[in-house]
Every structure is written in structure tokens, then in C-alpha cells.
Amino acid sequence: MQALVIAAHGSHLNPDASTPTYAHADTIRETGAFDEVREAFWKEEPHFREVIRTLESDEVFVVPLFISEGYFTEQVIPRELRLDDWDPDKWESDGTSASQVTLEATDVGKTIHYCGPVGTHDAMTDVIVQRAESVTEDPDVGEGVGLAVVGHGTERNENSAKAIEYHTERIRERGRFDETKAVFMDEEPEVDDVTDFFESDDIVVVPLFIADGYHTQEDIPEDMGLTEDYRLGWDVPAEVDGHRIWYAGAVGTEGLMADVLLERAADAGAELGDAIDRVRQRTSTASGADGDAERHSQAGD
Amino acid sequence: MGMDDGSASATQRLLTTLAAANENETGTDQTHTVSFDGLQVTRDADDTFTLTIDAADIAHAGLDADALESLLAGEESALESGGVAAYVTNWHYWQETVGGEGTARRAFLRWCEHAPLSNSLGTHTGVEAGNTGGEADGDEQGQDRTLPVPDRYAALQDGIDREWGQLCITARFADVDQPDGERVYDLWHVADAGTDIADLTVYDDPREAREIATYDEDGRYRPLKTAPTLETGWAFTGLSGEELVDAVGFFYPATIANWHREREGNLDVDHWAETADRQSGIYEVVSELPHDAVGWMAEACCVDSQCLRRREWEYEDGDELDADGGDGPFPCREPCSLVVAAARKWAIAESESERTYELELTPTERNQLEELIDAVADDRTDEIREADVNDGANRYRARYLRAKRFSDEGKLEMREQSESESGSESASEVESESG
């Protein structure tokens, strides 16, 4: 038997924080590729600490639903899962290249394939592009359009910016959008000035965040000038400084994220049959772009 | 032979199992036994069979295959007390449908119908091994009796109810008219036990439990799944055993796994000190929380009125906290993330030194402060009637106190006494932190 555990942050304050986690877990459940699929959280239940013991499978694939390699993926999750032999060096990563390492969870004696975060997987590039398709409702979006990928920045963790730049570069190389740029919340180039960095009239803005919350639903919309007060909502597209801003909200809510989770598990040796193809087929039409301007989310803590 | 399909197929499966066991052995003159919940069928070396059910005073030896089959399927109804067929369909349900030997899932489903928990293969070891049942099964409450097959079969006809936190679980036969041993499970809120099913919203997908568990009846987010604030008005009906365990897992994550570990004697409790030492980042500070404060925290957060898990962690091994740990069926094996997050707040707050403040209050106003704190602590503010000015936590009463005793800056007026001199000359107005 094999199990998939999706390890996400969750929130004590915001019930929406776990919504994408549940949605992607359900997509994967419906493929039947795993005998068991579990959501696990740092701030909700089941906690990382107690999730493995809820499984009957001997072989467990743990995929962090996080954007970058850093504090949570390198320290918190392995510690809470009791992966005693874990060492970040075992990923042999340059900051965005972690794939997996096989360990044992010492409380249950199960084999744990501890995977790199979804945010740094190559398949994530496709999710960002699809998010742009979703928000513009244009499956061919690109020509005459600029794409801004928004990241948190380096304040907490340098790998966070690396992940943003990695995908931005991959999208740029494809030549699909007239311009593709990385912008950040707490470092230059800042998302506040997004219109300064683009010549295109239309700019699609995709935050590389897992869930909608304080940053994606309050901070960024106000900082970009989409709205004076997030509680009033904003238009999609919204007119700012002579540009039309198509603000997508968190990329992690895109249905295709389920594919990235599966790819991570497959890279770690999970037997998935044709599940990846089926999930791609099911989620490859743009989805989940609700703009959601009325959302009154609070910050996850 | 007058038997129903379910009983017939259970009989065939049992015979196949006996035969298969035979083929799997190299020596052909081995004996082979199916032994479960009081039923014992042995294929002897001479290819005859022995059927024994001690509890029903049934013992047949030297049976040929046809005679055995006839006995197993039985002329008797599966329901009849002591009927052989009941034991056969019972074997089939547990060994073929449920399976999962040694798993928490199986143990929980056994518990749901008061079946002996560790007597799965008829090897009567362990405290709960009652072959014929009727023994206490080691439950903390000491009221958890196990039932032998005929008693369970009679009870499953009407349904057997068990409580798990605020959940009520009913185990019953899938087909009451022609019970074939297959069980299904219903799940609802204990407070809805007397509610007509027609008045409840009925679900059948365990995943719907996630949504129900997310908000309380006032629509507020429930970050703590085991808080006693589960909303009412719903029911899951006709769940399979696996679906029941999934649904309970969504309502109360990991409770079954930890309950099972506790029963097996290997619950790995992490006490406060260990849990605090493990924290990092912004939570590293929680290890500085004073010993007394850990006790107040447990009293504030972990008693049954706040969380239905039974707190098994203490300050550290051998150093117990005074607060009541609760008496629910499922244990709490370490401080949860909510406790750790709150502990951070208290650890920082407790690093402040105490001071002496001087302020003017009438006796009624002093009492009112206590009533206000109690009303919030007991989550009673919603219940206080608008015009009930006798209640100190009434809104008008609180607004009056604020109008009278707060400064223009919105702070409670008081003076802080310095340590060296007491008396009001030296006092200055201080700001409360919560302002």
C-alpha cells in the first residue's frame, strides 16, 4: 500500500487557508492512485506530528505544499514527522532542485519518501501559465501581454526569491508572453511599482503563494493600487497607471496544482499508473479564477 | 437449505479458507483451523471437520464436508441466539470485509459494536480476549463491556450506539430483514440523538465532514477540531466501516490512531517540557513559560469545556499539572499547535514583572470586572440579554463602566506605584497593554 501526505501550513484564523489543500487532495483521491491520501498541517489537524500514524500504508510519500525550500521544508516538517535521520544536505539541492529522500518515521516504522516542495518543481511553471489563462479567460494569453510573478522575497529566506526567479526564467524562455518579470513584496523590484516595469498595456499578475490570505487578498491588491481598501474589492482587469492589471490571486488555488503534487510523488517512486495524465486532463482547463475580490480573509499566522 | 445468499456466501468463503489453508501447507496431514469470536472449525488430518462453539454448547466432530456446510449455513436463522450461521457471517464480516488485522481502523469498528478487541484470530491473549465476551475490555471508564456474537447480533438488529466526543455512531446490520453479517454505520451529533432523521441534512460522502467541522453553529471558524462546538443538524447514514473511519478522521483527526495506541500500551506522550524544547523560530520562546503558567494554560485551554481530548501530557514525566485532563475516550498526547501558539503569547507576557496599580472602583464595579472576565471566559456574552442590566457583563453595563472609568485616551484610569515609595504622589497614569 502507498499513501500520499500533503503537508501544508494551514491557519488558526483563516478557514480558507486549507481550502486548496483539500481540493487538490480530493482530485488525487479520485484518481485512486494512492490507497490513502491525507492532508496534514502545521496549524490545523491532523498535525504533521500525528498524520503518519493515521495511515495503514507502509510506504508514504510526503509532499510539502510550500513554495520554496526553507524553514518549513528543511526544519519544521521533518522534525515534526520524526524523520530522525533527516539532514537538509540529503536533498543535495541548490535551493530549487530538491527532489526526495527516503527516510524512516521513527514513531511508526514506515518508509517515508520526503519530497521537495511543490513550488520548485518544473511542473509549477505550467501552473503559473495556466493561472494566467484562468484569470484572463484566454487559453492563448501571451501575445501583447506582460506576466508578473509575485514572490514574498528574501526577507525570511533566500530560496523564496530563487523559486520565483526560476519559474520566471523558464516562462521567459518559452517566449509566450511579451514580457515576463519577477516582482516581490519586500525587495526590489517591488510589486507596488509593477506598472513601471512593463511596457505592455495588459499585465497579468500571478502571486506564487499556496493559498489566498492576507498577502494575496489584502496587501498585494492595495499595494498595486487595484483598490484603496481590499474590503471594497477590485476589478479584474483593473486600470492602474494606464495599464490593465489582471490580478490572479494565489497560484496554489489552480486545479492543476494536483498535477505538481503527483509529479513530486512520481519522482520519488510512487506507482501512479496513468493518474498524472488523468489529472492533467481534468485540471488542464483553466479553473478557479474567481478573482474573489470580496474575500475578507485574515492573515494566516 | 433455507439459507439466504449472504449466509451462503459466507459459508462458501469459510470453506474456501479452510481448503486454501490446506493447500498452502506442504504436509497434507496437517490440521487447519478457522477460529474467530468463539467459532472454531478445524479440518482434521483425516479430512473430517470439527465444529465447536463453546458459548452455544455446540461441538461436532468427524463431520464430512457436506455435513459441515449444512451446519455452518444452518437451518437456523442467522439471528437466532447461538445460531451457527451468525458466527459464520460474523467471521466473514470481520475477516473478509473489514480485515486490517492489528489496525486502528479494525479496533475502532470492533469497539463500535462492543466486540472483544484483541480476540481476532481466536488466540485468546491480552486483557480483552474474552472468547465468549461479557468481560470488561480494559476501558478507562470500566463500563465498556464486550458482547459475545449472539448478543451483538441481537443488538445490531436495532443498532448499537457509541459516543466519540460529540459524535454518536450507530453500528447496525445493512439488511435488517435478512442479515448477512454485513454492517453499516450511521454518524451524527450526540445532541441530535432524539431528532427525526427527516429534520437532519443527510450526507454519504465522508469528505463532507470537513465542511461541517469547519464552522460552529454561529458560523465561526473552528481551528480546534476537538473543541466541543461541533454544529448539529446533520447525519451520515449507511457508511461502510472504512467510510466511518474516514469521517471520524475528518471530524476528529488522529483520535482513532492515538486511542488505539493507548489501548495497545504504546501511546507516545510528549509532555510540555519536551514539546516546548522542540520548538524553533518564533515558538522557541515557549520553553520560557513558567511552571505555574503551564498549569494555568492547561486549565484555560485543555479542560473538557474547551477540548474533548483527554490530556495525557503533563509538565514533564512525574510532574503532573493540577488541571483536570478530562475523561473522553481519546487521548491528547502532546500540546497541540493552538496551545503552543497561545503559549508564545503567555511566555512573552509572563516575562514582564508584576507591578502594583492603584485605581478607584466601587464594590459593584469591582464585582463587575469579575463578571466581565467570567462572561468572556465562559463564552457567555452572546447569551446576555440586552436589557439585563443586573448582569455585570451586560453591554450597557460595560459601556457605562467605560464611560465612567476610562480616560479620554480609552485607558482604564489608574496609577502605578513604584516599589520604593507608595502613595499617590509618585504615581503616574499607565497604559494597559490591551488598549
Cβ contact, residue pair B254, A44, below 8 Å: no
Please give the pLDDT value at position B4.
56
Cβ contact, residue pair B338, A46, below 8 Å: no
Q: Pick from B104, B253, B341: which is nearest to A45 by CB?
A: B253
Residues 309-348 of B with CB under 8 A from A: 333-334, 336-338, 341
Q: What percent of chain A has pLDDT over 90?
A: 85
Q: Which three cell numbers stand for residue B233?
A: 443538524
Q: Pick from A12, A26, A75: which is nearest to B341 by CB?
A: A12
Cβ contact, residue pair B254, A76, below 8 Å: no
What residues have CB less than 8 Å from B338, skipping those under 6 apart? A12, B223, B224, B301
Helices A19-29/A275-283 angle, 10° precision: 130
Q: What pLDDT, in 10s, does the model give residues B123-157?
A: 333 333 333 333 344 444 445 689 999 999 999 99
Measured between alpha carbons, how far is A156 from B229 in angstroms, rounded to an integer? 36
CA angle at B229 for the pair B226 and B230, rounded to the nearest 5°: 80
As annotated, the residues of chain A forming the CATH 3.40.50.1400 domain(s) are: 2-120+255-283, 123-253
A-chain residues within 8 Å CB-CB of B221? 13-15
A interface test, pick of B98, B337, B340 with most A CB neighbours within 10 Å: B337
- What does R_g of chain A's alpha carbons equal in angstroms? 19
Q: Pick from B225, B257, B278: which is nearest to A54 by CB?
A: B257
A-chain residues within 8 Å CB-CB of B230? none
CB B150 within 8 A of CB B83: yes
Q: Pick from A15, A47, A71: which is nearest to B214 by CB?
A: A15
Please give the pLDDT value at position B70.
84
B-chain residues within 8 Å CB-CB of A45? 224-226, 253-254, 336
Instruction: Write down all domains in chain B, each with its CATH number in brackets.
Output: 5-87 (no CATH), 103-113+124-263 (3.30.1360.190), 272-350 (3.30.70.2320), 356-429 (no CATH)
Measured between alpha carbons, how far is A164 from B8 in angstroms, rounded to an integer? 63
Q: Which CATH class is domain A2-120+255-283?
A: alpha beta
Cβ contact, residue pair B254, A53, below 8 Å: yes
A-chain residues within 8 Å CB-CB of B341? 12, 43, 301
Q: Answer whether B280 touches A (CB < 8 Å).
A: yes
Count CA within 13 A, CB hemisphere, residue B209.
25
Q: Pick from A43, A44, A53: which is nearest to B257 by CB?
A: A53
- Digit-by-digit pLDDT tens for chain B (435 residues) are 344 566 778 888 898 888 876 555 555 556 788 999 999 999 888 889 999 998 888 889 999 988 888 888 875 544 444 588 899 999 999 999 999 999 999 999 999 999 998 644 443 333 333 333 333 444 444 456 899 999 999 999 999 999 999 999 999 999 888 888 999 999 999 999 889 999 999 999 999 999 999 999 999 999 999 999 999 999 999 999 999 999 999 999 999 999 999 999 999 999 999 999 999 999 999 999 999 999 999 999 999 999 999 999 999 999 999 999 999 999 999 999 999 999 999 999 999 999 999 999 999 999 999 999 999 999 999 999 999 999 999 999 999 999 999 999 999 999 998 765 544 444 444 444 443
Q: Answer whether B223 touches A (CB < 8 Å).
A: yes
Q: Which three cell numbers stand for residue B227?
A: 473543541
- What does R_g of chain B's alpha carbons equal in angstroms? 30
Residue of chain B whose Cα is closest to the Cα of A156 = B281
Q: Which CATH class is domain A123-253?
A: alpha beta
Query: DSSP for A8-72?
Result: E---SS-GGGGHHHHHHHHHHHTTT-SSEEEEEESSSSSBHHHHGGG---SEEEEEE--SSSSII
Please give the pLDDT value at position B143.
52
Cβ contact, residue pair B221, A13, below 8 Å: yes
- Bridge-based pairing state of the strands A202-207 and B32-36: unpaired
Question: Coil, helix or strand for A174?
Answer: helix
Residue of chain B whose Cα is closest to the Cα of A107 = B268
- Cβ contacts below 8 Å, chain A against chain B, sum to 65
CA A237 to chain centre: 23
B interface test, pick of A29, A45, A77 with most B CB neighbours within 10 Å: A45
Cβ contact, residue pair B223, A44, below 8 Å: yes
CB B36 within 8 A of CB B94: yes
A-chain residues within 8 Å CB-CB of B277? none
Measured between alpha carbons, how far is B326 from B337 in angstroms, rounded to an integer? 19
- Characterize A210-229 residue by residue with b for buried, 16 or more Cβ atoms within 10 angstroms of its Cβ, and e for exposed: bbbbbbbbbbbbebbbbbee
Q: Answer whether B219 touches A (CB < 8 Å).
A: no
A-chain residues within 8 Å CB-CB of B249? 46, 54
Measured between alpha carbons, how far is B29 from B181 in angstroms, rounded to an integer? 32
Residue of chain A whose Cα is closest to the Cα of B214 = A15
Q: Pick from A42, A45, A51: which is nearest to B225 by CB?
A: A45
Q: Pick from A50, A79, A107: which is nearest to B278 by CB?
A: A79
A-chain residues within 8 Å CB-CB of B336? 45, 47
Q: Answer whether B207 touches A (CB < 8 Å).
A: yes
Q: Pick from A12, A26, A49: which is nearest to B334 by CB?
A: A49
Please give the pLDDT value at position B200.
97
Q: Give whole-number Cα distances, B40 to B34, B121, B308, in Å.
A: 6, 10, 41
Q: Give whole-number Cα distances, A48 to A10, A72, B105, B120, B260, in Å.
A: 11, 11, 20, 31, 18
Nearest-Cα distance to chain A for B257, in Å, is 6
Torsion on CA atoms B321, B325, B331, B335, rounded to nearest 10: -50
Helices B291-301/B337-350 angle, 10° precision: 140
Low-confidence ranges of chain A (pLDDT < 70): 155-156, 286-301
Please give the pLDDT value at position B65.
87
Strands (E), A80-136: 100-105, 110-115
Q: Pick from B223, B254, B341: which is nearest to A50 by CB?
A: B254
- Bridge-based pairing state of the strands B160-164 and B58-63: unpaired
Cβ contact, residue pair B214, A50, below 8 Å: no
